[in-house]
Structure 1
Amino acid sequence: MSALTTLRSVVRGRVLLSGDPGFDAARRPWNLAVEQPVAAVVEAADADDVAALARHARAAGLGIATQPNGHGATGRTEGTILLRTGRLDTLEIDPAARRARVGAGVPSGRLQAAAAPYGLTGLPGSSPVVSVTGVALGGGLSWFGRAHGWVADAVTAFDVVDAEGHQRHVTAQTDRDLFWALRGGGGDFAIVTALELTLHPAPRLFGGRMLWPAEHAPDVLDAYRRITATAPEELTVWLDLLHFPGAAPMVAVDVTHLGAEDEARDLLRPLDHLPRPLSDGRRMMPVSEIGTITAEPTDPGAGLSRGELLTGLDDVAAKALLADPIAPLLSVQVRHLGGAFTRPSDTPHGPLTEPYALYLFGIPADPATARAVAGRQRAFAESLPVSGRKPLTFLNPGETAADAFAPAALARLRDVKRRHDPHGVFRSNVPVLL
């Protein structure tokens, strides 16, 4: 029997091989535009299953690609066993210590719901369905990053399975290099089965979206620039240029403020002088509802994305941003960074000094549209002041770790990979040795 056909005797979770009913659905990533070839799919029952799989793969010379539900997939999985960790769903909140223990399969929205009754929050991104572990392994840009830094900065410990199949508890004290690499360097070094992270006080949250017809985009952008120029760290504002199929182009401003409503409205006063919006969904909300602000899809779909970091948003950049319609893109998003992102960070990314992030998204309905989307994304990047560096979680399938990390950090990550996984058992979405 082959090493693949014996997998069912190695683990207690579900195993699917090529040709089995449900195999093709189980191997698909979140982004359906990415083809993800694998030799088998294993849905681990628990951390013991993960350890047994790692030992089996190591002995058989097989690779393991780990994904809770496939966000960030790049298709670099040929010949691997795809490990699904969605059933590793432990979630423990210690409100007195302001700490959470989060299983690898726990989505951000579930952590937020569990922390909210205690007036606490994790560091959520725009989507409630992305796993906390996946975001932390990629560094993590959060709604509250301006106040608290990278998501990875909040992680205090990892429970992992190493390349020999041993279960380990990794902290800055037990293994400084591996701990550093896991806090934003990706999943290339060990399989994370759970992590521990610091929670932050969030007794009050004001947030929501305002929406206008695209004809008001110049005025909205001007107000956005004025607000972000002086915004305190508790305030985060994103600008969205939107053009959904069958709808007229629009412009939106998305907001979160860790504080009182009157404080938030005062900080956002430039928006009150704009034409009346089509809608204004801003309100006091529990942190568990933060995923409703941008209303991102909660089911898989096809997409082409490109992320960049902007060195500024001056008059020239503002003019370039609005020079032409965004079509065939669906959205062009500008996220305000700064604040705590600029402070020292013992992570592979380190401080994030660029003041804005740019995220460009379109749907590749057919090959011609895919080429048009990629061309429009490239045109935006060429017309705006991009730094050339980008967060790991913003990388698309055509980019590598060298696009995210400075040379010294990448060299250190590669050293950690060679020492902790010399036989290449683990295959992350963005392998550091490529």
Structure 2
Amino acid sequence: MSTKENPFHRPAIVLGGTLSTLRSTVRGQVWLPGDPGFDHVRRPWNLAVEQPAAAVVEAADAEDVVALVEYARRAGLGISTQPNGHGATGRTGGTILLRTRRLDSIEIDPVARRARIGTGVPSGRLQSAAAAHGLTGLPGSSPVVSVTGVALGGGLSWFGRAHGWVADSVTAFDIVDAGGHARRVDAETDPDLFWALRGGGGDFAVVTSLEVALHPAPHLYGGRVLWSGEHTAEVAEAYRRLTATAPDELTAWLELLHFPGSAPMVAIDLTHLGKAAEARELLAPLDLLPEPISDSRRMLPVSELGTITAEPTDPGAGLSRGELLTEFDEVTVKTLLAEPIAPLMSVQIRHLGGAFARPSDSPHGPLTEPYAVYLFGIPADPATAAAVAARQQALADTLPTSGRKPLTFLNPGETAADAFAPASLARLRKIKRRTDPANTFRSNFPVSAGITPPNS
């Protein structure tokens, strides 16, 4: 990363033998350049992103994190924290890459409807633990993404229409700050930092655990209905009508699919927080559509949400682009379907609204755009990668986008300025300067990118 991208960057002061002392600093595992497996452990989830690192540390516990922050501060190194590398942008040069997968404790308080979870806990594990008590977190489409990572980026959930941003349900963070101090942050102890952590990214501290509110989920109905691509126009119109009047308990995503070597298909993925009879009544318009290829709708345990979209659970290469849509009317549908999506593999339309649009004391604030679009392709070779990017750009240029997007939707070529309104970004930068003036913590999307460093 250049100093133009990050004005607070400073060269790492790594004297002979300095990095080797990492092994005696932490109890967890350490990999240095040249060690067997180093190139494997430093890679991100998206294998299309090259991720450099001065070293990789897998912390054994929160005490390891304290020791690592003190070490990095003395050595003049930055820390980039990743449980497993989702959302990586490659902005990790000269940093210690911190893996937090082993911080995986889960404590459920079913009476208070609270969970205290380690920063390495993936969404699927929290869902399984909460389901035993008839409760749910706010899971996204993938069960392997860390809850903490999603919350730090705001977080879009299957149940966000009913309960808002994932970050809105966070009630406290356990962190290690830039001074190497372990402390608890909530709305009372440090309201500014608490605000920043609830969606502003990983620029402010290392989170070792967090406390989240859980929500009742006695009944959940969901699944995927899949049709041949020849029915795309009919399915898209039915989706548009369905979502125009959907209650907050119903979430539906439209999926245009074109997998390599197969014909185009179209799907509607959905969840309903309620009984099957209620869901079937709401979804009756789908029964008037042509016969689907498959229909997996059923009563679901909240622990099985990941089966709906069946996203990959192993790393792979991909190119993505996300946008927020100001509307999804007949003109938008016609524009979306004007040409085949190829070489994209999928185009996903997510219905938002509901609680997303209500007041939120977070950097994103209320999400007033009613829909989001997520464009994905696989860069099999340079020519395909260029074609995927061009198709994404063409769609973004023709659809009614708002010009902002959630932090978790950003791709490596974008910055925090693409996610936050100017006032929120200015406040985040002020908090960054106060809490981490030496820029020890390096997030995927640094809030300080593109500004003049203090005292320069």
Question: Do they fold alike, i.e. is TM over 0.5?
Answer: yes
Structure 2 counterpart of 1:369, one-letter code: T
> Can you list the C-alpha shifts for 1:349-402, whole angstroms capped at 9, x where unaligned?
000000000000000011100000000000110110000000000000000000
Give the structure 1 partner of residue 136 of structure 2: 121
Matched, 1:255 2:273: no
Secondary structure at the aligned position of 2:44 is classed as: coil
Gaps of 5+ in 1: none
1:3 CA drift (Å): 2.5
Give the structure 2 partner of residue 392 of structure 1: 407
Give the structure 1 partner of residue 117 of structure 2: 102
CA distance in 1, matches of 2:61, 2:262: 45
Match of 1:165 among 166, 180, 186: 180
Matched, 1:236 2:278: no
Runs of 4+ that moved beyond 3 A = none
Give the structure 1 partner of residue 36 of structure 2: 21
Give the structure 2 partner of residue 36 of structure 1: 51
Give the structure 2 partner of residue 298 of structure 1: 313
Matched, 1:379 2:394: yes
Give the structure 2 partner of residue 65 of structure 1: 80
CA distance in 1, matches of 2:123, 2:25: 30
Matched, 1:176 2:191: yes
1:270 CA drift (Å): 1.0
Match of 1:416 among 431, 448, 451: 431
Give the structure 2 partner of residue 148 of structure 1: 163
Q: Number of residue pairs matched?
A: 434
Gaps of 5+ in 2: 1-15, 450-456
CA distance in 2, matches of 1:245, 1:225: 27
1:5 CA drift (Å): 1.3
Match of 1:194 among 206, 209, 224: 209
Secondary structure at the aligned position of 1:70 is classed as: coil
Match of 1:271 among 265, 269, 286: 286
> Can you list the C-alpha shifts for 1:283-312, whole angstroms capped at 9, x where unaligned?
001000001000000000000000000000
Give the structure 2 partner of residue 288 of structure 1: 303
CA distance in 2, matches of 1:294, 1:165: 40
Structure 2 counterpart of 1:121, one-letter code: T
CA distance in 1, matches of 2:279, 2:329: 24
Paired residues for 1:196-235 under 5 Å: 196-235=211-250
> Can you list the C-alpha shifts for 1:17-63, whole angstroms capped at 9, x where unaligned?
00000100000000000000001000000000000000010111100
Match of 1:130 among 138, 145, 149: 145
Secondary structure at the aligned position of 2:132 is classed as: helix
Identity over aligned residues, as a percent? 78
1:315 CA drift (Å): 1.4
Give the structure 1 partner of residue 363 of structure 2: 348
Secondary structure at the aligned position of 1:289 is classed as: helix
CA distance in 2, matches of 1:232, 1:168: 40
Give the structure 1 partner of residue 11 of structure 2: none
CA distance in 1, matches of 2:51, 2:108: 35
Secondary structure at the aligned position of 1:6 is classed as: helix
CA distance in 2, matches of 1:102, 1:133: 9
CA distance in 1, matches of 2:270, 2:331: 25
Structure 2 counterpart of 1:152, one-letter code: A
CA distance in 2, matches of 1:52, 1:212: 54
Give the structure 2 partner of residue 360 of structure 1: 375
CA distance in 2, matches of 1:201, 1:274: 33
Structure 1 counterpart of 2:412, one-letter code: P
How large is the Cα RMSD of the aligned pairs?
Answer: 0.5
